[in-house]
Structure 1
């Protein structure tokens, strides 16, 4: 009979982009379930504030590790710090992302490069930093936070959508690569979420960051033989 992993107590999760918004909400929700969480982002002060809040709850422990996800050596150091603090890494949440000027006609090359570096390379660096250990243990879960922009591009989202299409492609291909290894992959595509990145973009009712966090918890708490490959979360 397959073992059920409904309890996250004692498990370790790395969450990128965890200094606020969706990432902070995911980290808090995982900690509520008993997981130890390693928080990664560039904004050190905000990151430490989230860790302090989690550590005050007497649930899962939190460790803040300031990290530029676009820097491969810093991502490797992040995984090393997580292993040293809590042992093996059970869950890796690729949440960090950049939503900058995304049209081709704007010719904002530096902004395109930043989105590609964070949204694509950062995802791959994160996966690479933990995957060998997961495969060796025949256990682990990669969560990639993509976007509904990864299903359809608009005239204002060309480059951003391209990066999120790429995240979905990475998730789909990786799931096939890891079939029968015991390592699971879930791609989560949120619609418009009420965060600092989207604060002025629409007057339509937006999702809350906690809605995406609950989707992450849903995926990782499935029995070990269940792989939830794709979740799309949109506002009504």
Structure 2
């Protein structure tokens, strides 16, 4: 049997219970990686983990995780290393969108986005970096079209994704000499459960916008790099700029 590109490697995917996260778990497992699945929905994590083990013959670990809790994030890293021996890939995928208009946005909605999108990315990255330096691994962050262009419909969400991009690219400059690759994947709309009042799954028909598996393939491509870094990959629906 031919070797797979991530044979013997281990990965953590946050927000792994649906959408981009669950498809990323499948893509990394297909490439041979053992995967720790992190999200809040334990039953869904275990369902996906069992499916992936059956389909790809890798080891999995379902770890119920609140990425905004520093202690829980630390436990996620500890459990992953205990199970797999090392960490080679961290995918910061957990994200949240709430509200829209700043004047109508509640403080609770604001803090929820900041906590998950900003603090969650920071806490997981901080905990993982020493391990990724040991393995000369790959850090992949899910950014957004909203993190590159002004987004009048949801300025706070956009701001969190501008932060993710700035943070990730700055971390890349800091840890490149340590052999760590840092990548940012920037999708526009993806047909998932993601969204606020109406999910993108409900808003768009199949084929209208990007599918989760397309983003997962971009993540897997970045994670497979051994000597180079995929700095940023943008995946937008083909008519995204038609109204600009």
Q: Which TM-score applies when normalising by structure 1?
A: 0.93
CA contact (8 A) 1:98 1:119 kept: yes
2:242 aligned partner: none
Q: Alpha carbons of 1:50 and 1:207: their partners in 2 closer, same or farther (altered >3 Å)?
A: same
Question: Shift of residue 201 of structure 1?
Answer: 4.0
The question of 1:21 aligning with 2:11 is answered: no
CA distance in 2 between partners of 1:226 and 1:70 (Å): 31
Q: Tell me the SS of whatever aligns to 1:31.
A: helix
Aligned mate of 2:118, from 117, 120, 137: 120
Aligned mate of 1:186, from 183, 190, 208: 183
The question of 1:140 aligning with 2:137 is answered: yes
Q: What's the C-alpha RMSD, in Å, of the aligned pairs?
A: 1.6
1:220 aligned partner: 223
Question: Shift of residue 6 of structure 1?
Answer: 7.1
Q: Alpha carbons of 1:58 and 1:211: their partners in 2 closer, same or farther (altered >3 Å)?
A: closer
Q: Deviations over 1:18-49 (max 9, x none)?
A: 00100000001100111000000001111111
CA contact (8 A) 1:33 1:60 kept: no
Question: Shift of residue 138 of structure 1?
Answer: 5.6
Question: Shift of residue 153 of structure 1?
Answer: 2.5
Gaps of 5+ in 1: none
CA distance in 1 between partners of 2:70 and 2:143 (Å): 20
CA contact (8 A) 2:181 2:229 kept: yes
CA contact (8 A) 2:93 2:142 kept: yes
Q: Alpha carbons of 1:177 and 1:33: their partners in 2 closer, same or farther (altered >3 Å)?
A: same
CA contact (8 A) 1:18 1:47 kept: yes
2:209 aligned partner: 206
Question: Shift of residue 177 of structure 1?
Answer: 0.7
CA contact (8 A) 2:4 2:31 kept: no
2:44 aligned partner: 46
* Aligned residue pair count: 230
2:69 aligned partner: 71
Instruction: For 1:132-171, list aligned pairs within 5 A.
Output: 132-135=130-133, 137=134, 139-171=136-168
Aligned mate of 2:10, from 6, 9, 12: 12
1:229 aligned partner: 231
Q: Which TM-score applies when normalising by structure 2?
A: 0.90
2:241 aligned partner: none
CA distance in 2 between partners of 1:58 and 1:174 (Å): 32
Q: Deviations over 1:145-193 (max 9, x none)?
A: 0111101232211000000000000111011111221011000011111
1:110 aligned partner: 108
